[in-house]
Chains A and B, each alone.
Chain A
Amino acid sequence: MKISTFFGIHWLRALFERNFNRWLAKRIPSQSEHSLNSNNILIYPTRFGLGYVAIVTLIFLLGTNYQNNIILLLSYLLASFFISVMLHSFYNFSTLRFNSVNKQHGYVGEVISFPINITTKKQHYDINVLFADKQLINKSLTNKVSLAIAKKGTHTVLLPFQATKRGLQKIGRVIVYSEYSLGLFKSKTILDFAHHAIVFPKPKSLVAGQYQLSGQADEPVIESYHESTHSGSDDFSELKSFVTGESRARTAWKQLAKGQGHFSKHYQGSQGQLQWLKLSDMPGNDIETRLRYLSFLINELTAVNQVFGLDLHENSITGNSAKNIAPNTGFDHQQACLIALALYP
């Protein structure tokens, strides 16, 4: 009996939520910018508001039972005050404008912040911002960001998201609410910025020698590309500041001896063969661990400005180039590689 009612409630709730979400998607579609008006503001009484209504009803009963006109008048006054407060709440909440960048990156275990810009035309009070997804809230440190007073102008709040899992994380909607002016009503909106986080695997350091960079011998297309771009090999190109982890063999000893600083010699195509980071080369059985090693190596190689490519095939034999990222260097390349790691199935 008890179980069936429980399931009944559960089912009803699920039905309600589905319908509500559908309604919400229609009412407040995904946008990078939202402006609050009567279409997207929900106002409903808080628990205090319901308590207030209860007290007003009680006062009404008191007045009726004592046939006391003044108490009745007081209850009517309190009741219509309730409605005035609702409108004041709405007034405080409307005309707010929000915009936000929908994509953020970060590593597993990090707190990723989603900045939300709030533009106000007048003074607003008690603006609270949080993610709608309750599962996200529980894990994060502080679940809501409050703005006790928002003066005219633009304000930025940072919504923290604790990244726990590698991959593309859809964060869902953002709840903005305010209980101003008297806490009787909650003015609320559930905005959809299509927020998502791309969570990279957490770097796991590899001891040197545990891996080696290898060429992509059996890839003629890449090979020819390599040949065309890198005509002569071992041509000295520049001196760069020494970065910890670089081979001592490349140290520019002359300069070091002269006391001009620790530099390392860099050669055009000095890495000899084109460098490929291969998933199949990584130690460990677990795919996640291997991805973490790759994450570490990508960062390391980017730090020393080394050109490298990324091969995400699980075994070295497959000839599909779709999971490859052509060798390159720099921040964009790093991001592209990390994203590829994050999105690895």
Chain B
Amino acid sequence: MSFFTRKLNGKLNKNLNSNPMNNTATLLPVNTFVLARKNAWLLWLCQCLNIATIALELGTWMLAIITLSLTWQAFLLHRSFERPNSKKLAERRTKHAKNKQNGPVSPFVLATFAIAGCLTIVITAPQHGLLISMVHLLCFSYVLKAFELKARSDFYQLILLGIFVLASALIFKQDLAFSAMVVSLLLLNFVVLLQYFSSNNVFFANLKIIGILMTQSVLLAVVLFIVFPRLSPFWQIPIAKSAETGLSDTVKPGDIAKLTRSSKLAFRVSFEQQSPPVYSQLYWRAMVLEDYDGRQWTKRFKRDNNKPSQLYIEANKAGVKPITYQVLAEPSFQKYLFALAPANLSEAFNGSIIPQSDYTFLSSSVISQTKAYHLTSYLGAPIGVTLDDDSKALNLAYPKNSNPRLEQLALQLSHNYSEPLQRAQAVLNLINEENYAYTLEPPLLKNNSLDQFFFDTQSGFCVHYASAFTFLMRASGIPARMVTGYLGGEYNEKSATDNNKAQGHLSIYQYDAHAWSEIWIQGKGWLRIDPTSAVDPERVNSGWSDDLLQQQSALINELFSRSLFKNSDFLNALRLQFDALDYQWTKWVVGFSTKQQYDLLTAWFGNVKSWKVALIIVITLIISMTAVLFIFNWLNRADKKQHRQNLADKIYAKALLTLAGLGIDKPPAMTVNDFAKQIREKQPMLAISFTRLSNSYSNLCYQNVSEEDKALLTITMQQQYQQFVKNIKSHK
């Protein structure tokens, strides 16, 4: 209740104090906290935006409560700043104030809000997990605090909470655009704070000050970022339980078609000094699915019989040219990683990446933030030449009679083609020759029946074809399995730099998700066969066809659809440029590791020693401190003096130009006074007016006059100039 009265009192005080009393001190009442109307609204806006950065992570109920209280806050603000334009309004306002003082509505509603919020946090806690619950608590207290701005310390606490909300938003998202947004919101938060101290200034003046201060701070921040030692985590922390994105360890027909509606980045790859392999070689292996239950394929988690190291020796023997590359995997909240099989880890990664016997890689923990790793791939080298009996049995298993018509076909095929490769080719030919369609909108299948797809609907996406193909292979006695991952990627050469010959990078998005199959042949090992190549060769060789793109943009209503970018070169160039920036950001800032830090420091300063680090920090500190003072001094001086001086210079120059029009030139070496003397002798008509002008000018330039006098003198000089011009005209 006192909240309102304080606000009202405060406003009255403010009105009293707002008289122009520049040269006398105003006695401010003690212990009343008032925000000016403009600033109160700015604070509210700032709160909304801060919450918006993290809104995607909040639960629906929490979001609803927060929205409601922010709306209510806006309503209260509107009320309290209603202007008493007329008597009636003023009367109404006092009535309101009385009502507010007496009526128990407000605290009741506030208490209801608080209770509702706390209940929501408690009830949804098991569902959301610890981290999100804590974020809920943070956001909720941040919103509620705004109702309790009784003293300046409350305002300060609100600002600090806001900054912390911004920092927590970065747990979930770290890309360049988002980080830039967070920093600009940080600026806004500080402007609100500054506005409290200098409410007379306009918003942009304050923004300028904060902007300068922040720019000043960047240097030290960057140096700290580079040289300050990375510490290992102090304690166990709750990991974000965000929704898993990307592929999953079970796949049924139609799954990946849904995934292609997302244009989210999956991972980026840079091939450093080499040029990337051709598109059709870019099969990014993520998971191998071996269990088939008649409806869906599931990854089998089994103990590894093959020691990972053996796999790589086998690969090395093949004598193919190895290619090395770095993968920057975006957070997927899953464990699988991406590689061009067969691949070898370039570094040990302390066991945080575990190579699997099926030539995939698993992260030891859920990928909740960008993960960088180096791989060496041997494209074309055979994989899994030996196959133990267990695996063989597993890769031949299928539920009998799950797809009777396909089983029939398989029997027929095995009869006709005794060679496994021929048999596979026959299936591909069949798919190619028959009227099969490759579409993002496959018709629904009853019980995910492959029979229905293969013989009736005959249209599907990659999983349909890979499933049917793998099933046919297994049914005809060839060990086969399903592999999921991504195919291709968008090559962006904007990130290429000339000096170290780095090539551009590949960006692989969720819509590049793909499924294919592998068959095992004695002596050759696992061979990759992609049935999609039989139905839509363009997809495999160069990427999405226009048909598919159109289908996609019809399915998703994104503002910037891919087909839009494909049609506009300018927009596409812009997008690629931003992607390149974001890539550098991800590589150098988001993924800046202890090792990178060590390498960089040794490259710059030789061996890394703590005194060197301290010295660098101190030097930077001194540089940025002097820069701050220098800049503000300079701005202050530049603001006023320069302007006035320039005006005087301009007027004098104009006068000289007019004289030059009459054929009188001032030699550059001659002083202002001497020139005036010369005019007096040669042009007595102009003598008086020009001498006056010259005197004012030399006074302004060379004499020590106070600022007020300077302003006056400048004005006088303007008048004298007009006199001078009149004088000339009358003599003509």
Residues of chain A having any CB pair with chain B under 8 Å = 47-48, 51-52, 55, 58-59, 61-81, 83-85, 87-88, 90-91, 122, 125-126, 129, 142-149, 151-158, 179-183
CB<8 Å pairs between A and B, sample of 7 = A52-B160, A70-B174, A81-B213, A90-B629, A91-B632, A148-B26, A182-B190
- Given A74-B182, A83-B220, is A182 in contact with B163 using a C-beta cutoff of 8 Å? no
Q: Which of A48, A85, A152, A156 contacts B213 (CB 8 A)?
A: A85
Contacts of B23 in A (CB 8 A): 153-156
B231 part of interface (Cβ distance < 8 Å) = yes
Q: Which of B167, B225, B628 contacts A87 (CB 8 A)?
A: B628
Q: Find out whether the CB atom of A88 lies under 8 angstroms from the CB atom of B628.
A: yes
Q: Which of A68, A81, A144, A183 contacts B217 (CB 8 A)?
A: A81
Q: Which of A77, A154, A155, A183 contacts B197 (CB 8 A)?
A: A183
* B422 nearest CB across to chain A (Å): 52
Q: Which of A48, A66, A75, A155 contacts B25 (CB 8 A)?
A: A155
- Given A65-B235, A78-B163, A183-B156, is A88 in contact with B22 using a C-beta cutoff of 8 Å? no
- Given A76-B224, A77-B217, A145-B27, is A47 in contact with B153 using a C-beta cutoff of 8 Å? yes
A58 to B219, CA, bound (A): 22
Closest chain B residue, CB of each to CB of A94: B629
Interface residues of B in 195-246 (CB under 8 A from A): 196-200, 209, 213-214, 216-222, 224-225, 228, 230-235, 237
Q: Find out whether the CB atom of B217 lies under 8 angstroms from the CB atom of A83.
A: yes
Q: Find out whether the CB atom of B197 lies under 8 angstroms from the CB atom of A71.
A: no
Closest chain A residue, CB of each to CB of B214: A81
Contacts of A75 in B (CB 8 A): 167
* B157 nearest CB across to chain A (Å): 7
Q: Find out whether the CB atom of A155 lies under 8 angstroms from the CB atom of B24.
A: yes
Q: Find out whether the CB atom of A179 lies under 8 angstroms from the CB atom of B197.
A: yes
Q: Find out whether the CB atom of A51 lies under 8 angstroms from the CB atom of B160.
A: yes
Contacts of A156 in B (CB 8 A): 23-25
Contacts of A85 in B (CB 8 A): 213
Closest chain A residue, CB of each to CB of B369: A68
Q: Which of A73, A88, A144 contacts B225 (CB 8 A)?
A: A73
- Given A91-B633, A181-B209, is A68 in contact with B234 using a C-beta cutoff of 8 Å? no
A143 to B27, CA, bound (A): 10
Q: Find out whether the CB atom of A70 lies under 8 angstroms from the CB atom of B197.
A: no
Q: Find out whether the CB atom of A66 lies under 8 angstroms from the CB atom of B237.
A: yes
Q: For the complex, would chain B's binding face be called helix, strand, loop or mixed by DSSP majority?
A: helix
A89 to B156, CA, bound (A): 17
* B498 nearest CB across to chain A (Å): 27
Contacts of A55 in B (CB 8 A): 160, 163-164
B715 part of interface (Cβ distance < 8 Å) = no
A39 to B717, CA, bound (A): 42
B179 part of interface (Cβ distance < 8 Å) = yes
Interface residues of B in 28-57 (CB under 8 A from A): 28, 30
A146 to B153, CA, bound (A): 18
- Given A80-B221, A91-B632, A156-B23, is A61 in contact with B234 using a C-beta cutoff of 8 Å? yes
B487-500 to A contact mask, C-beta < 8 Å, 1/0 = 00000000000000
Q: Find out whether the CB atom of A48 lies under 8 angstroms from the CB atom of B590.
A: no
Q: In the complex, given contacts A90-B629, A180-B197, what are 11 additional A-B residue pairs having Cβ atoms less than 8 angstroms apart?
A: A47-B153, A55-B160, A70-B589, A79-B221, A80-B217, A84-B624, A85-B213, A91-B628, A126-B197, A129-B25, A145-B27
Q: Find out whether the CB atom of B197 lies under 8 angstroms from the CB atom of A58.
A: no
- Given A67-B369, A84-B213, is A77 in contact with B221 using a C-beta cutoff of 8 Å? yes
Interface residues of B in 636-652 (CB under 8 A from A): 636
Q: Find out whether the CB atom of A65 lies under 8 angstroms from the CB atom of B234.
A: yes
Contacts of B152 in A (CB 8 A): 183
B477 part of interface (Cβ distance < 8 Å) = no
Q: How many residues of chain B have a CB within 8 Å of chain A?
A: 67
Closest chain A residue, CB of each to CB of B22: A151
B1 part of interface (Cβ distance < 8 Å) = no
B170 part of interface (Cβ distance < 8 Å) = yes
Q: Find out whether the CB atom of B216 lies under 8 angstroms from the CB atom of A84.
A: yes
Q: Find out whether the CB atom of A80 lies under 8 angstroms from the CB atom of B174.
A: no
Interface residues of B in 568-617 (CB under 8 A from A): 589-592
B707 part of interface (Cβ distance < 8 Å) = yes
Closest chain B residue, CB of each to CB of A48: B156
Contacts of B221 in A (CB 8 A): 73, 76-77, 79-81
Q: Find out whether the CB atom of A84 lies under 8 angstroms from the CB atom of B30.
A: no
Nearest first, the 10 A-B pairs at minimum CB distance are A80-B220, A157-B25, A80-B217, A77-B221, A76-B224, A76-B221, A81-B217, A48-B156, A87-B628, A70-B174
B168 part of interface (Cβ distance < 8 Å) = yes
Q: Find out whether the CB atom of A183 lies under 8 angstroms from the CB atom of B213.
A: no
A80 to B620, CA, bound (A): 10
Q: Which of A62, A79, A155 contacts B171 (CB 8 A)?
A: A62
A146 to B21, CA, bound (A): 12
* B17 nearest CB across to chain A (Å): 8
Q: Find out whether the CB atom of A83 lies under 8 angstroms from the CB atom of B198.
A: no
Q: Find out whether the CB atom of A147 lies under 8 angstroms from the CB atom of B26.
A: yes
B564 part of interface (Cβ distance < 8 Å) = no
Contacts of A157 in B (CB 8 A): 24-25
Q: Find out whether the CB atom of B157 lies under 8 angstroms from the CB atom of A51.
A: yes
A75 to B166, CA, bound (A): 11
Contacts of B220 in A (CB 8 A): 76, 79-80, 83
Closest chain B residue, CB of each to CB of A148: B26
Q: Find out whether the CB atom of B196 lies under 8 angstroms from the CB atom of A183.
A: yes
B655 part of interface (Cβ distance < 8 Å) = no
A312 to B179, CA, bound (A): 80
Q: Which of A63, A66, A70, A122 contacts B179 (CB 8 A)?
A: A70
Contacts of A84 in B (CB 8 A): 213-214, 216-217, 624, 628
Interface residues of B in 298-312 (CB under 8 A from A): none
A152 to B636, CA, bound (A): 12
B194 part of interface (Cβ distance < 8 Å) = yes
Query: In this complex, which of A51, A147, A182 has the most chain B Cβ atoms within 10 angstroms of its Cβ?
Result: A182
Query: In this complex, which of A66, A70, A148, A182 has the most chain B Cβ atoms within 10 angstroms of its Cβ?
Result: A70
A72 to B163, CA, bound (A): 14
B77 part of interface (Cβ distance < 8 Å) = no
Closest chain B residue, CB of each to CB of A77: B221
Contacts of A62 in B (CB 8 A): 167-168, 171
* A58 nearest CB across to chain B (Å): 7
Contacts of B194 in A (CB 8 A): 181-182
B193 part of interface (Cβ distance < 8 Å) = yes
B621 part of interface (Cβ distance < 8 Å) = yes
Closest chain A residue, CB of each to CB of B589: A69
Q: Find out whether the CB atom of A59 lies under 8 angstroms from the CB atom of B156.
A: no
B119 part of interface (Cβ distance < 8 Å) = no
- Given A70-B590, A155-B25, is A65 in contact with B233 using a C-beta cutoff of 8 Å? yes
Q: Which of B30, B235, B636 contacts A142 (CB 8 A)?
A: B30
* B596 nearest CB across to chain A (Å): 10
Closest chain A residue, CB of each to CB of B368: A66
A67 to B222, CA, bound (A): 17
Q: Which of B28, B167, B234, B589 contacts A146 (CB 8 A)?
A: B28
A91 to B212, CA, bound (A): 14
B183 part of interface (Cβ distance < 8 Å) = yes
* A144 nearest CB across to chain B (Å): 8
Q: Find out whether the CB atom of B217 lies under 8 angstroms from the CB atom of A69.
A: no
* A57 nearest CB across to chain B (Å): 11
- Given A69-B591, A154-B23, is A83 in contact with B224 using a C-beta cutoff of 8 Å? no
A215 to B23, CA, bound (A): 52
* B397 nearest CB across to chain A (Å): 42
A143 to B193, CA, bound (A): 25
Contacts of A69 in B (CB 8 A): 174, 225, 589-592
A152 to B641, CA, bound (A): 13
B625 part of interface (Cβ distance < 8 Å) = yes
A146 to B234, CA, bound (A): 46
Closest chain A residue, CB of each to CB of B191: A182
Contacts of B369 in A (CB 8 A): 66-68
